[in-house]
Amino acid sequence: MTTPPAHLLIGHRGAAGVAPENTVAAFEVARSSGAQFFELDVQLSADGVPFAFHDPTPARTTNAAEVFPGRENDPVTLFTWAELQQLDAGSSFSDAFRGERIPHLDDAVRVAGDAIGVFIEIKSPATSPGIEDVVAQRLRTDPRWQRLLRDGRIEVLGFDAASNQRFAALAPEVPLQQLVYRVPDAEALERISTYAGQVGTNHRWLNAAAVDRVRAAGLGMSVYTVNAERNFNRMVALGVDRITTDFPVEFSRKHLTAVDHDAVTVQ
């Protein structure tokens, strides 16, 4: 058999380079890509339903201007779940995806099945009060999420340190990643290590010294969002643990080629 990958590959917002982000269609592309995980962003509707969506408003990725004229730039978290389900989240990407809906968080675990894991980014927790508890409850009580958790195929992540710490207190059994724009100093990394196991940073500013700081703090090293081959190769050379990309199909093929080239045969 071949050696396992030295790093995990994560489809960003499903597979945002080839399908409308944070939709079932994008999750399905990621599931069949050969990536180990797909990532999504989660927010809460006005009536408390966890749904997959990145932006603070529905203007960019939906037809909210047509369905709810004058509300397209309102916070997406002020829409009820029933209202969100009236929006088309696919046609802004391509007519081929017309009619794609905003998914419920649980659509992700349905698509994942036994084939792939899920990264859940808690997006803008200040506009979704109580979202940490809602996500923790889903992971704790839904047998499908519990199966993924037992299999090591769930991770929660976010930029908001206070939100991450709240989640860690609620669900210490769930792997947690602190997102940052640049790797901070050793003191900040030491604080992060008290509640998270991974640091995820923008790949553009990552260098060997930053990776060494992360390792010295006992943390794993993740990067986002790597879409060019030269950057992918640089991240592999730096020895990062996870690489998030909008193009999981393309980079899974490159990754498998690299693994096959360095394969170890076991008798």
* Bridge partners (DSSP) listed for residue 243: 9, 223
Structure tokens at 48: 């408390």
Q: Active-site residue 203, yes or no?
A: no
Q: Which residues of 152-180 are buried (b: 16+ CB within 10 A; e: fewer)?
A: ebbbbbbbbbebbbbbbeebeebbbbbbb
Q: Which residues of 47-84 are buried (b: 16+ CB within 10 A; e: fewer)?
A: eebbbbbbbbbbbebbbbeeebeebbeebbbebebebb
Structure tokens at 64: 């909210």
DSSP 159: S
d(CA 126, CA 208) in angstroms, rounded, equals 34
**Phi and psi for 228 in degrees, rounded to 5?**
-110, 140
Residue 211 contacts residue 234 (beta carbons within 8 Å): no
Q: Which entry of 7, 12, 203, 255 is annotated as an active-site residue? A: 12
> Closest Cα partner for 55 from 70, 42, 71?
42
Q: Which entry of 54, 104, 203, 255 is annotated as an active-site residue? A: 54
**Angle (deg, nearest 10), helices 161-170 and 131-141:** 30
Q: Active-site residue 104, yes or no?
A: no
Residues designated as active site: 12, 54
